[in-house]
Structure 1
C-alpha cells in the first residue's frame, strides 16, 4: 500500500469517526430535548402555568408557577458529587409562600455526605429533636436558641415513611421537600462513568402528593401560630 493510499485511508477513518461523534452528540441533544418537553408536559398537568426558569446551572432544571392559588417551584437536580456511590437525580418541590417560623428548620434524613441541593451542611446549629421526628433525621437551623412546633411538623411527615424523601426545609419564605427520583444505572456508570437514570420521569401524581404535603404542613404551622397569638 502506497503512502498516499495509507494517508487517504487514515483520513477517511478520522472523518468517519468525527461524523459518528457528531451524530452521537446530536442524538443526545435531541433525546434530552424530548425528555425535557415530556417532563414539562407532566408538570403542567399539575401546575398549568409552569414556566421553565432554569438559570443554566448544569444538571438543574427549574419550573415555577401556581397551584391551588399558591406560588410553587419544581426543580430536578442531578447530583454527581464524588462522595456519592452513584449519581442521583433529586426532585425538589416547594410552596413559596410565607410560613410563621422564626428561622430555618432543615431536617435531613440520614445525612452522610455533602449534597448539591441543600445548604444543610452550612447550617451551624443542630437542634434538639423531638422523639416524634424520624429516628434517622438530623435537624439544623441558622439561629441558635429558636423553637419550632416540632410536634405539629411530626404530624405531617407521613411521606417520609416511604424511604425516598430526603429533606424537609421550612423557612419564613416557604416549605420544600426533596425526593430521590432515581440513582444512576450502576453498570453504565461503572464502565463509562455516565449518569443514566433509565426511565425515571416526573410522575404528576408524585408532584401533586409532594405539593399537598408541603402545603398542608405550611397551613398547620400558620394556623398554630394564629391560635397562639
Structure 2
C-alpha cells in the first residue's frame, strides 16, 4: 500500500468516526427533547397551567403552576454525585403555600450520603422522633429548641411506607415530598459511566398522589395551629 493510499484510508476512517460520533450526539439530543416533552405532558395532565421555569441547572427541570387552588412546583433531578453507587432520578413535588411551623422540619429516609436535591446535611440540629414516624427516618431542623406537630406529621406520613419516598420537607413556605423515580442502569453506568434510566417516565397519577399528600399535611398543620390559638 502506497503512503498516499495509507493517508487517504486513515483520513476516511477518521471522518467516519467523527460522523458517527456526531450522529450519536444528535440521537442523544433528540431523545432528551422527546423525554422532556413527555415529562411536560405528564405534569400538565396533573397541573394544567404548569410552565417550565427551569434555570438551566444541569440535570434539573422545574415546572410551576396551580393545583386545586394552591401554588405547586414539580422538579425532576438527576443526582450523579460520585459517592453514590448509582445515579438516581428524583421527583420533587411541593405545595408552595404558607405553613404554620416555626422553622424548617426535614425528615430524610435512610440518610447515608449527601444529595443534590436537599439541604438536609446543612441543618445543624437533630430532633427527637415520635415512635409513629418511620424507623428509618432522621429528623433535622435549623432552629434549636423548636417543637413541631410530629403527631400530625406522622398521621399523614403513610406514603413513606412504600419505600420510594425519600424526604419530607416542611418550612413556613410550603411542604415538599421527594420520591425516587429510578436508579441508573447498572451495566451502562459501570462500563460507560452513563446515567441511563431506561424508559422511566413521569406518571400523572403519582404526581397527583404526592400533591394530595403534601396539601393534606399542610392543611392539617394549619388547622392544628388555628385550634391551638
TM interval, shorter chain, is: over 0.9
Alpha-carbon distance between aligned partners in 2 of 1:78 and 1:34, rounded to the nearest angstrom: 17
Tell me the matched-pair count: 229
Alpha-carbon distance between aligned partners in 2 of 1:110 and 1:31, rounded to the nearest angstrom: 33
Question: Paired residue for 1:212?
Answer: 212
Question: Paired residue for 1:82?
Answer: 82
Alpha-carbon distance between aligned partners in 2 of 1:8 and 1:199, rounded to the nearest angstrom: 42
1:104 correspondence with 2:104: yes
Q: Residues 93-118 of structure 1: CA distance to partner in whole angstroms, max 9, x if unpaired?
A: 00000000000000000000000000
1:193 correspondence with 2:193: yes
Question: Paired residue for 1:4?
Answer: 4
Q: For residue 145 of structure 1, report the CA deviation from its aligned partner.
A: 0.4
SS of 2:223 mapped into structure 1: helix
Equivalences for 1:10-21 in 2 at 5 Å? 10-21=10-21
Structure 2 length-normalised TM = 0.99
SS of 2:102 mapped into structure 1: coil
Alpha-carbon distance between aligned partners in 2 of 1:107 and 1:196, rounded to the nearest angstrom: 28
Question: Paired residue for 2:92?
Answer: 92
Alpha-carbon distance between aligned partners in 2 of 1:8 and 1:82, rounded to the nearest angstrom: 42
Alpha-carbon distance between aligned partners in 2 of 1:200 and 1:157, rounded to the nearest angstrom: 25
Q: Runs of 4+ in structure 1 displaced over 2 angstroms?
A: none
Question: Paired residue for 1:27?
Answer: 27
Alpha-carbon distance between aligned partners in 2 of 1:152 and 1:39, rounded to the nearest angstrom: 33
Q: For residue 82 of structure 1, report the CA deviation from its aligned partner.
A: 1.4
SS of 2:15 mapped into structure 1: helix
Q: Residues 61-96 of structure 1: CA distance to partner in whole angstroms, max 9, x if unpaired?
A: 000011111100000000111111110000000000
SS of 2:112 mapped into structure 1: coil
Alpha-carbon distance between aligned partners in 2 of 1:50 and 1:212, rounded to the nearest angstrom: 16
